[in-house]
Chains A and B, each alone.
Chain A
Amino acid sequence: SQQGEEDPQALSIQEGENATMNCSYKTSINNLQWYRQNSGRGLVHLILIRSNEREKHSGRLRVTLDTSKKSSSLLITASRAADTASYFCATVLGTASKLTFGTGTRLQVTL
């Protein structure tokens, strides 16, 4: 099955720095979504980018999509300790909008 692969697997930065996470996938998609998971909790939707879009912003989040390279990146600017979490990309193909998740990036933001 198609699956996103996030890079890096783990990232540790200081508060105020920017965090960049990358996602690669294998086949064509309808859209790509990013989710955040705090330890022991369910996933929270962050942002969706459609296959015909190249860049999207939401607050401190910036997502890019390069369908020719089958890759996406998530940039969190001016990170905060509260951004500490695991971040997953998920690709969507088909009318049932089934999500296929990557393995995630664990982000640690220290004071």
Chain B
Amino acid sequence: NAGVTQTPKFRVLKTGQSMTLLCAQDMNHEYMYWYRQDPGMGLRLIHYSVGEGTTAKGEVPDGYNVSRLKKQNFLLGLESAAPSQTSVYFCASRALGNEQFFGPGTRLTVL
């Protein structure tokens, strides 16, 4: 039981490049979330999903897209990376009791 895993752990992009962050959970959770954390700040919600095939916008969705084709996976895409997207990205999934389980994070730098 690996919980929530994220791939990759680190990535450096140039402005304008694209990439996809993968989140996987093996707990059969319906709800999944993508957050970003900037220095000295709490996490901010980018997008979330309430089940397979569904996605919805969070607090800071601009510049990101997501897909939930399989229940266990939640993908976060950056079509054209910008320096303002330099951040640490966390994925989480939610248990029935409202507790969220977080992955270890992906540290992304956009030059």
Interface of chain A residues 27 through 63 with chain B (CB within 8 A) = 30-31, 33, 35, 40-45, 48
Residue B31, interface by CB 8 Å:
yes
The answer to whether B105 and A45 touch across the interface, beta carbons within 8 angstroms, is: no
Q: When chains A and B are docked, how far (Å) is the Cα of A40 from the Cα of B43?
A: 13
> Which residues of B line the A interface, CB within 8 A?
4, 31, 33, 35, 40-45, 48, 50, 56, 58-59, 90, 92, 94, 97-105
Residue A67, interface by CB 8 Å:
no
B35 contact set on A, CB distance < 8 A: 101
The answer to whether B100 and A45 touch across the interface, beta carbons within 8 angstroms, is: yes
From A4, A33, A42, A99, give the contact of B45 (CB < 8 A).
A99
Nearest-Cβ distance from residue A38 to partner chain B, whole angstroms:
11
Residue A20, interface by CB 8 Å:
no
Q: When chains A and B are docked, how far (Å) is the Cα of A16 from the Cα of B98?
A: 31
Q: When chains A and B are docked, how far (Å) is the Cα of A3 from the Cα of B43?
A: 10
Q: When chains A and B are docked, how far (Å) is the Cα of A96 from the Cα of B47?
A: 11
Q: When chains A and B are docked, how far (Å) is the Cα of A108 from the Cα of B19?
A: 36
A90 contact set on B, CB distance < 8 A: 42
What is the total number of residues of chain A having a CB less than 8 Å from a CB of chain B? 26
Q: When chains A and B are docked, how far (Å) is the Cα of A101 from the Cα of B35?
A: 10
Nearest-Cβ distance from residue A98 to partner chain B, whole angstroms:
6
A101 contact set on B, CB distance < 8 A: 35, 42-44
From A42, A44, A99, A100, give the contact of B105 (CB < 8 A).
A42
B48 contact set on A, CB distance < 8 A: 96, 98
Nearest-Cβ distance from residue B86 to partner chain A, whole angstroms:
16
The answer to whether A96 and B40 touch across the interface, beta carbons within 8 angstroms, is: no
The answer to whether B102 and A103 touch across the interface, beta carbons within 8 angstroms, is: no
The answer to whether B102 and A42 touch across the interface, beta carbons within 8 angstroms, is: yes
A3 contact set on B, CB distance < 8 A: 42
The answer to whether B43 and A99 touch across the interface, beta carbons within 8 angstroms, is: yes
The answer to whether B99 and A100 touch across the interface, beta carbons within 8 angstroms, is: no
From B31, B56, B90, B99, give the contact of A33 (CB < 8 A).
B99
